[in-house]
Structure formats: structure tokens, C-alpha cells
Structure 1
């Protein structure tokens, strides 16, 4: 007689249909274990992030709030401050020194930004080829960007010294009269622009080089097969693909030029006759030389508003380009 199979027994929590039913106690235990694990992970994450958060709050957020409140006060950093409302901002409108600083900053920006981008693009186009020692050339053009503005200022202060500098020595051998350079009110700002171009052009070159190497080779080859020359290739193929990079570099260089300070502080101290006083140097001068911290904070917030407008304009421009059919195609 064949042996009958042993009957199947269901474990607790199963119904007659064989489906596993909910176990309230086990579900609660799993939920509590999950919550404990999440709390542990959260605590561990905050333990790692807390030092950075403390630095950001202590060195960025709190000073911004404090300086905003300071801009509505009269404060000499010694005696107790007093609330003056918008008087600091009203005084800025009538201050000829602040107007001169704004004018110098705009002149510096108007010369430095387009020239740095044009020179950077030219160098990138020249070095985006299979040339012998091209890596060395790229490095040599980029090295000045790594040097700090303070070191640049010290270096060129010696080179451009009116009496003992190497620049006037070379000009003397060439039969050219001695130049004032950083001590001449008519030349000082132009010389600062030239020094900034010496260092800032390398950054634009590297960015443009990276963008040029991302231009599709098939697109260039198709344009050449259609008979496009080098000039037409640059105008109708290469430059349109560099539009996003142009926007990035424009905003970056604008922000850098509007915040120039180190080079001015090391070389000219805002002189001669205020010809190189820029907005950030004016802020430092008012706060730490004239001991009018509230007035300096107000001028700093005028600059901050200008930077915010530039950033907002760039963001709107990028959104418009991304929403257009051409931007979507790119």
C-alpha cells in the first residue's frame, strides 16, 4: 500500500488560502528598527556636515546680516553705534569719491572683460591645434592665473617703478622717454588692466580650449565638405557652439572685475589722485581707514545689489537660451 504524504501545517499568521497575513508585533518592530537606523544615519550625517555648516554660518550668513544692519547705522568701530536709517545711502549719492570709485570700476570692467575674453579666445584657437610643444605653451599662458594678485602687484611694482624699474630701463635703451606707469594718473588704471590681462587671460583660454574640444568633429567636417573656409567655419560653426561658454565667462569676468581689490591695494593704494580707487577699495577705505563702518557697509551693499542684478540677468539669459529651439537643439 503506497505511503500517504504528511499533511501540510501552516505557520502562525497564515490564513487558509496560504497567504501570509500581517503580524502587528513584527511590523512594529521593523518600523522601530527603521526609525532608529534613520536617526543614526541622520546624526552621523550632521556630525560630518556640522563643521562646514558652522563655518558657513559664522563666516558668511551672520556677517551678511550684521553688515546689512550696520549699513543703517553710524558706527566708528569704537563708540556705540546709532541708528540713522537710509542716511548712509543718501550720502553715497552725493559723495564725489564714491562716484569716482564707481566710474573707475566701470572703466576697468569695460576694458578688462572684453579684452580678456577676446585674447583668451584667440589663444585658444591658436593652441587648439597639433603643434609641437603645445602642452608647454598652454601651461606657460595659464601659469600667471595661478599667481596670487598680491604677488603680481609686488612683482609689477618693482618692474614698473619710475626710477629703478626694468620697464623704464628698457624704454630708455629704445630711446623712449621715462613713463610714470602706476604713479601717473592718466596711466595707472590702464596699467592695472594690463596686469590683470596678463593673469586673467589664461583662465579664459583654458575654458575656451575645453569648449573648442567639445565641438562635434562631424559638424566641422560637414561644413568643410560644403565648401566652408576657415573664416566661415569660425563664424557659422564654432562661435555659435561657444555661446553658453561666452555667457559663463562674461558673468565670471564681470564679477571678478567688479570685486578687484588686492591688486589695487598692493600697487597704488587707490592713487594717484584717486584714479585707481575702485568700489571694493572704497569700502575698505571707509571702514578701516576713515572708521565709518556703517558708510562702508552701505557702499558694499550697493555693490552687492549690482552683482545680484548681473547674476539674475545671466540666469534669465540662460533660461531663455535653454527654452529657445536653438538652445534645445544645442
Structure 2
């Protein structure tokens, strides 16, 4: 099953990337032609830059999720309700998240736009401004991703050794010292999983860009996954070979991070 649904499609995508193909007719071998064309494509470099921004800023979900988890890790009345409310963004569809933030940023009636207008005296169309559009979409993505990291850390906090925490408190550790030297080391497995899913999620973000801007304005919010879809499966010409080349580049970028994560995981297992 893994070979049929994962390995073989990967090999086929790499093979298709060396061809000019519309998805229906005969393939025409062009070698590295698609990759050479990518190097001269300004949209490709815009997509790479935006993917880098996604990667860097998306990592804010990890400390954000940790902060919320520490806040919710209390035995007080109604805490389960608060946990459910904080987890709610991860349960709903990315399409719904995209639509909600599109309305949130809307210049005419959006809450964010109204707030900015009160503070600065003028409206800012976040999703129509090339300077801010990518940051606006990333904020929308951080909302559910922070909720997911929160759940990972809440699970990790439930498995913390209370004896170590109590011993540290008896030795005078409290606040940030207790968090840094006692709690965070025990949350290392949760942090590792949160880092892996956040990095992969940042590189394969597609839904929000598709719903909120479709890569606009003027291609300024393009990322590799949407650029691949646009070239291979949209009205731009069904260039399956060119889309496959973009997919291969994205796959190689992901493989770099996945390899680093696997090496780190194997090293930790050997040390333990």
C-alpha cells in the first residue's frame, strides 16, 4: 500500500518533470527543460521567498501553543470548556478558517479593518496589499496550528513527573527557572512532534492561499504548492511537466527537513 500510494507516485512525478505534457496527450521528453525554465521564472522565486516566510513565522505556533497549554494546565472550574474553545480552531476546516479571516480583513466591514481605521484613521486592505498579504495569510494559518501545538503540549504536561517538579520547588526553583530546567526537558518529545508537523505544514500550505487570495494580488502571495497547482491543473495551460518540476523542488526541500528530523530522532533514541 505504501509503495502504491506513496513511492510509485513520487517516482512518476519525477519522471513527468522531465517531459512536456498536458495530462492527456503524448509526453515529449525535454530533459531538464522544466527546471531551467523554473530558474528564469520570477513567480518561482516569489514562491520560494513566501515559503521561507511561512516556515519562519509558522514556528511561532510552537511557543504560542506552549503558552496556551501552560495557561490551561490548571484544575479550576470550567477549564474543560476553555480547552474546547482553544482547540476549536484546529477542528474546523481550513476553508472555513480562510473565509473567516477574509471577512475579518475585509476593508468595508471587517473587524480588523475597523480597528486599524480607528487607530490610524485609514483603512488597510490586507489581502489586496502586496506588502501585507502573505503575513495576513500566515496569521490565519497560525490560529489552528497553535491550537494543535497546544494539544500536543497538554498531553506532554499530563505525563510530567510531579516528583521532579516538587523536588525542584523544594530546591528553590520557580517561574522561568522551573519551566526551563525541569518542565521543558520533559516536554522534548512533544516539542519534537510539534516542530515536525509545523515545518511540514508550513511548506505544504495550500488551502488558505487558494481560498483567501488565489496567489494574488499580482502573484505576491504565491507559494510553491499553489504555484504547482496553478501551472498543472488550472486554466494556465495544464502544464503537468512544469507542475511536476515544482512538486519535485518542494519535495526536495521537505526531504531536507525530514532527514534532519529523522537523524535527530535516531540520535536521541541511541542516547536513551
TM-score, normalization by structure 2:
0.93
Please give the per-residue CA displacement for 1:153-190, whole angstroms capped at 9, x wherever unaligned.
12222232222434323444556421111111111111
Quote the residue 1:6 is aligned against: none
Correspondence 1:95-174 to 2 at 5 A: 95-113=41-59, 115-172=60-117
Correspondence 1:267-278 to 2 at 5 A: 267-278=212-223
Quote the residue 2:29 is aligned against: 83
- Structure 1 position 295 matched with structure 2 position 242: yes
Between the aligned partners of 1:311 and 1:168, the Cα distance in structure 2 is 39
- Structure 1 position 306 matched with structure 2 position 253: yes
Q: 2:131 aligns with which of 166, 170, 186?
A: 186
Offset at residue 202 of structure 1 (A)? 0.6
The alignment covers a number of residue pairs equal to: 270
Over alpha carbons, which structure has the higher Rg? 1
Quote the residue 1:255 is aligned against: 200
Offset at residue 61 of structure 1 (A)? 4.7
SS at structure 2 position matched to 1:272: coil
Give the unaligned 5+ runs of structure 2.
none
SS at structure 2 position matched to 1:245: helix
Quote the residue 1:38 is aligned against: none
Quote the residue 1:65 is aligned against: 11
Q: 1:231 aligns with which of 141, 154, 176?
A: 176
Quote the residue 1:208 is aligned against: 153
Please give the per-residue CA displacement for 1:218-255, whole angstroms capped at 9, x wherever unaligned.
10111111111222111110111122221211111000
Between the aligned partners of 1:218 and 1:272, the Cα distance in structure 2 is 55
Offset at residue 58 of structure 1 (A)? 5.9
Between the aligned partners of 1:147 and 1:308, the Cα distance in structure 2 is 29
Between the aligned partners of 2:119 and 2:193, the Cα distance in structure 1 is 42
Between the aligned partners of 1:158 and 1:121, the Cα distance in structure 2 is 28
Please give the per-residue CA displacement for 1:306-327, whole angstroms capped at 9, x wherever unaligned.
2122111101111212223xxx
Between the aligned partners of 1:148 and 1:159, the Cα distance in structure 2 is 17
SS at structure 2 position matched to 1:152: helix
Output the aligned Cα RMSD: 1.8
TM-score, normalization by structure 1:
0.77
Structure-2 change in CA distance of 1:119 and 1:79 (3 Å): same
Give the unaligned 5+ runs of structure 1.
1-52
Between the aligned partners of 1:130 and 1:101, the Cα distance in structure 2 is 45
